[in-house]
Amino acid sequence: MKIRELQLFTGSINLLNGFYSEALGLEVSKIEYDKLKVKVGATDLIFVEETKSNPYYHFAINIPENQINEAVEWLKPKVLLIESNCSSLIDFPNWNAHSVYFYDPAGNIVELIARHDLDNSSTRPFSANSFLNISEIGLPVDNVKTFHYLIKEHFGEELWSGNQETFAAIGDQNGLFIIVTTHRNWFPTDKPCNIFPLTVKIENKKSVIAAMEHSYYKIIAE
């Protein structure tokens, strides 16, 4: 599965403009007065201004599988890294991956992940150009098993990892829906997994538009 576009809401659109363009060095453009587009490799990340609430999300970005240490060093002067067990470099042995997490100014939990099973290693110095694509979007739900069933029915995407009770990763290592129960916090933070509206466009064999989880989530397959 490939995530082509991810649209999120924010109450901090001006701060995000400066953060993603200046601190991280990504290509950023205003597409409307209340919309910001960030080019994250092969994925368009769209932020839409929302002043009535304070939404936040979790998403992950694939980087070259051999550059997680370079990514950590590159990030250190730019952001405050989130630690787990006193380390900002987090090992996921079951996924054969390493990650580093940080917050953006809107409170979004951003993850850079090096998936060692992917053939995407690089010899170029790590930079914003090393952000390959958004490969995960977190979707808190009331019932993980039911939501997984609906995703499979609508889009044909299979379970990749998880117990389907509190967690399910659906798709593949190029694109995953991270389905979690609302009765937990986002790893590795103390922020609750709350439901906020979003729209995600994926590349899929089926052409489908589905409004899910009380219409908070709009998923478009093209």
Q: So where are the chain's domains?
A: 2-221
- pLDDT reported for residue 206: 76
Q: Residue 66 has what pLDDT?
A: 99
**Separation between Cα atoms, residue 67 and residue 125, nearest integer Å:** 9
CB atoms within 10 A of CB 161: 15
| Extended strands (E) in the chain | 2-10, 27-32, 35-40, 43-49, 58-63, 81-82, 90-92, 97-103, 109-115, 133-141, 159-161, 167-172, 175-181, 198-203, 208-212, 217-221
Beta strands 133-141 and 159-161: pairing type? Answer: unpaired
pLDDT of residue 204: 86
Residue 33 has what pLDDT?
A: 84
Which residues lie below 8 Å from residue 144, measured CB to CB, with a gap of 6+? Answer: 162, 164, 165, 166, 167, 168, 179, 180, 181
**Contact of 162 with 145, CB cutoff 8 Å:** no
Compute CA distances 105 → 24, 127, 171, 173, whole Å: 12, 20, 29, 27
CB atoms within 10 A of CB 218: 16
**Would you give the end-to-end CA distance of the chain in angstroms?**
11
Predicted TM-score (pTM) of the model is: 0.97
The answer to whether the peptide bond before residue 64 is cis (omega within 30 degrees of 0) is no
pLDDT in 10s for each residue of the chain, 222 residues: 999 999 999 999 999 999 999 999 999 998 888 999 999 999 999 999 998 889 999 999 999 999 999 999 999 999 999 999 999 999 999 999 999 999 999 999 999 999 999 999 999 999 999 999 999 999 999 999 999 999 999 999 999 999 989 999 999 999 999 999 999 999 999 999 999 999 999 998 778 999 999 899 999 999
Q: Which amino acid is at 187?
A: F
**Rounded Cα gap, residues 181 and 101, in angstroms:** 20
Rounded Cα distance between 215 and 58, Å, is 19
Tokens 């729209």: give the residue: 199
Q: Please, what CATH class does the domain formed by 2-221 belong to?
A: alpha beta
> Residue 195 corresponds to which tokens in the numbers above?
């439901």
pLDDT score for 122: 98
